[in-house]
Structure 1
């Protein structure tokens, strides 16, 4: 296998591995952080102990995600120095600053107040605790802002120019607010929030199917559904706006996303391939299922295009993405999941309006609950496939049309990279197994209704129970009402 002796390919594989696995955990910390702000706000407003117990329960999963996210994220960033040193040296004037902002503005803010959020319930004033929760959520989401700023700048470099092999910044604000940045940040923010909402809803649906704490978890299910009403459709629209940016600024990526080999000139209508089998050598699709005249409606909401859609044949093979099939199907996977989650949300709202999601009837909606459990991991798949489209579709450039990937990799022996890739693979798999074990244990045990509620006297269980097994009437009296 030739790729085992190719330093660039192995370095790309290593970064893809660490990025795709690491992405699983910040996704939840950013989204669940916002959910915790909502839940604790409801607790302070209503003093309903159910919301307090929700905050304590979901914060356990937040802490687990934060810990594993840190463990997987630091090695990923170190690769800019170990595997991609020429790239870091060339763009460090801007790229290094932005990555530093993510560490100092976002990670440090989140880490500084995380301890108060997790352990300060009975040690600090409720207002201070709530402020800590808000700051943790802000810190988590600032990471999204800075990471997507850096990534967007790699897609549409702005604010400076290459001088003697190095990028010289003339305008930091222009570089930060590069063309891809606004919609990319919003798209990723909505993706993390939507994924978190369906994870929360899916876990709640599991409890409801098991008939455990039904009244309690019906609250978290309905809150997740209510938030998804706004997030799921908006995410589809923002995703379309991102595609328009690709259409405008990265035509070869759009051609790869659509397996479009031949150029469609302005003023013509164009078919859209629903499924296809791209053949890179023959520069055509071996087979495809097309929808006539649909591409114009997708890109411009009209049949005939006002701008040409360039085909892959417009570029030399070395100047266009090579893994066309990967880009093509990852894009369709992401889009399909987005529409599935939106459809599930609309069906759930229909059931809600019919009164079938009340505490008395929600346990009867078994297929709907199974649908939410099935949807729980789909957001992670959509995010990873979206990042594959974003990064693989940018090839062969690291900094778009400025620095090639082959010139960005460190000059180290392929055997060294293969050894580190193997080590990362084993380590990340072990971390994933540990996360699944401890996460499932938190879920199996369920919320601890024996925790003291600030300002409220808690009734003690009348019978002995296993850890995490509590009957509904063992909660505070206020929570049963």
Structure 2
């Protein structure tokens, strides 16, 4: 447990916790824009009540996402000083653009969105909601651009060991960026979609908030039936691009150790226990040629095997192999639920189909698990490099940082995150359990002036007492 390993664990812990909230708020902001649009178009108070219900959840999630992300910026200076020194001329501006464009946009309109109801024009309030949603997407744009550049670096030159920008267009739109951005945004949308659908299904199974639950489940079903198949297509394109630029990562994903004889093709390994010491798979269950069909779109295609490079150039195989199968397995389950629910909706039986409702409820949090699994595939799969092929992770860690200091700060992070964010997540579950309630206009003083609105995340006291 040296400083390098502890620094990797610390950053992995923080980013794993942080990524859940921005991904959720990316999808939730767009969901709120859709709900408010439906309210303005139909004047149906059911949509207005849904808007205020999910706005409370968005406010809490957005706050936890911002707070959990602040810590990561400090770790670049404390734990990864060499990375900051050598790649700061490229990564620094990309992360700064995220603050200057996305964060300022969100901060400007978030107050109007949360507290501007009945205080600004309806169209202005809807614009604020749309701007917050746009800000979350812009934030994803810059973060994914910076991370994708570390995966497939382009547009740079190295001067005295320091990465200098040579072509900002090539840096921002590096080879993997369009695929990874689309894949990530769709993953965020699908994660939120299954939360919304899972909450709706739980209400219907309990017989609570039936009207609101039907609205949410119908919208979630239609959206999932479109986006989940689209994610399968984008994932396939992303995989082909990864095989082109990071072939050893793909080999680790498939636990593909050595080339097969010509014409045999690559099998699709459904299950195995990768044995990195013996460089083979134990207890392997595979489908012949199916791996070639998926990875090369031919029945006899081959991919670069793990044994083609020294062991020091390979990522850890087991976590990449298993995480990839968790992501794909959950994706298949979500696809089946989405298509079955769409079929039941077309037949007019969705709301009474207990199989569909239980499917949504069981998979309500599956998007978060699949998101983390996919992130682990991406980040662990690029090892042993932090900038792929150019800067090794072992060379990017701060040379003077001590293992004891990293361990102590890791323990502090774990305790603080457990207490603070554990309480926040528990509060989110309380809000979901209460469900949507009719929204009342803000009270007025004797002089007719509106009083200051309390935060939207505060639950209704009467509903809490009734619970």
TM normalised by structure 1 equals 0.90
Report the equivalent of 2:227.
231
Report the equivalent of 2:329.
336
SS at match of 1:304: coil
8 Å contact kept, 1:446–1:469: no
Report the equivalent of 2:115.
119
TM normalised by structure 2 equals 0.93
Query: Compared with structure 1, are the counterparts of its residues 234 and 155 closer, same or farther at alpha carbon in structure 2 (3 Å cutoff)?
Result: same
8 Å contact kept, 2:190–2:367: yes
Report the equivalent of 1:85.
81
| 1:378 Cα offset (Å) | 0.6
Report the equivalent of 1:352.
345
Counterpart CA distance in 2 for 1:424 and 1:152 is: 27
SS at match of 2:217: helix
Matched, 1:375 2:363: yes
8 Å contact kept, 2:212–2:436: no
Report the equivalent of 1:429.
418
8 Å contact kept, 1:232–1:341: yes
Report the equivalent of 2:183.
187
8 Å contact kept, 1:265–1:309: no
| 1:436 Cα offset (Å) | 2.4
Counterpart CA distance in 2 for 1:190 and 1:468 is: 35
| 1:287 Cα offset (Å) | 2.3
Mapping of residues 323-472 of structure 1, within 5 Å: 323-357=316-350, 362=351, 364-411=352-399, 412-452=401-441, 466-467=462-463
Matched, 1:105 2:101: yes
| 1:309 Cα offset (Å) | 1.1
Report the equivalent of 1:473.
none
Query: Compared with structure 1, are the counterparts of its residues 168 and 267 closer, same or farther at alpha carbon in structure 2 (3 Å cutoff)?
Result: farther
Counterpart CA distance in 1 for 2:439 and 2:305 is: 63
8 Å contact kept, 1:264–1:309: no
8 Å contact kept, 2:150–2:386: yes
Query: Compared with structure 1, are the counterparts of its residues 170 and 449 closer, same or farther at alpha carbon in structure 2 (3 Å cutoff)?
Result: same
Count of residues paired in the alignment: 448
8 Å contact kept, 1:297–1:303: yes
Counterpart CA distance in 2 for 1:266 and 1:245 is: 23
Matched, 1:51 2:47: yes
Counterpart CA distance in 1 for 2:164 and 2:181 is: 24
Counterpart CA distance in 2 for 1:106 and 1:78 is: 20
Which runs of 5 or more residues in structure 2 are unaligned?
A: 444-460
| 1:161 Cα offset (Å) | 2.2
Report the equivalent of 2:310.
316
Report the equivalent of 1:40.
36
8 Å contact kept, 1:22–1:69: yes
Deviations 1:26-74 (A, max 9, x none): 1111001111111111111111111111111111110010011011011
Matched, 1:301 2:289: no
